[in-house]
Each structure stands twice: as C-alpha cells, then as structure tokens.
Amino acid sequence: MQGGASIPASPMTSQQIPNLLKLVGTPRDGALLRFSLGSEYLKNSDIEQAIAHLGAAVEKDPGYSAAWKLLGRALGESGRNGEALAAYRRGIEVAQGKGDRQAAKEMAVFARRLEKALASSGESGARS
C-alpha cells in the first residue's frame, strides 16, 4: 500500500480499482486504462471519479467512441445533462468517422432523450 489517501475505503470499491490505479502515471497510463477505471467507478456509483477518468480517456484518445459513450452516461447520471449531450454528440461524430454505426446509433438515442429532457424541463435529471 502507498501512503496517503489515494482512494477512500469503501465496501463497494471494486477489487480491480486499486490495481488499475497503480498504473496511473506509468508508461501504461493510456486511454484504455482510464476507460477501465471510469467503467469500474461507474459500476460502483462513484460518478465523479468515473467522469474524471473517462474525461482523461477521451483526452488521451479523442477517437475512442466507447469512452465518449460512457462519459455521456456518467455525466447524465450526475445531472450534467448539457455536458452529457455534448459528449454524446462528439462520440457520434467519432463513431461515424470510424464507421462504427452501432455506437453512433446508441449514442444518438441517448442524445435524443437528453434533448427532449432539456427542452421540456431545463436541466432536470434525465437518465440514459
């Protein structure tokens, strides 16, 4: 174990998270690592950590459509619907550019739901 409080102790913390965190800042720290961390944090309902790592994933690889999709979901779950919509729209562009029709279609569905939620109730919590 390292000194300091890098992650809070929680019974819901995935056993994978500490192992993945050991790789942050090493040569293996890339989009896939950050996507994996974001996914694990999202599974464990640590939305803010999920957003941070998924945001890092798309910074490291802006062409990672799966990371854009999961980032949109995490932002939506946190109530940041405008940001979620922007992430989905960027993810759709990326997926279309790569010919990933299925990912583009899925994100388009989520984006339309957010657009409707934003139009009807402002920044209320929409779920994807």
pLDDT in single tens digits along all 128 residues of the chain: 333 334 444 445 678 999 999 999 999 999 999 999 999 999 999 999 999 999 999 999 999 999 999 999 999 999 999 999 999 999 999 999 999 999 999 999 999 999 998 888 755 443 43
Q: What's the pLDDT score for residue 56?
A: 98
pLDDT at residue 127 in the model: 40
User: Distance between CA 55 and CA 42 in Å, rounded?
Assistant: 13
**C-alpha torsion sign, points 27, 63, 92, 115:** positive
Q: What is the pLDDT of residue 121?
A: 73
- The Cα–Cα gap between 19 and 46 comes to 17
Distance between CA atoms of residues 27 and 112, nearest Å:
38
Burial 31-49, CB ≥16 within 10 A → b, else e: bebbbbbbbbbbebebbeb
Query: Where are the alpha helices (H) located in the chain, listed in sequence order?
Result: 16-21, 31-43, 47-60, 65-77, 81-98, 101-121
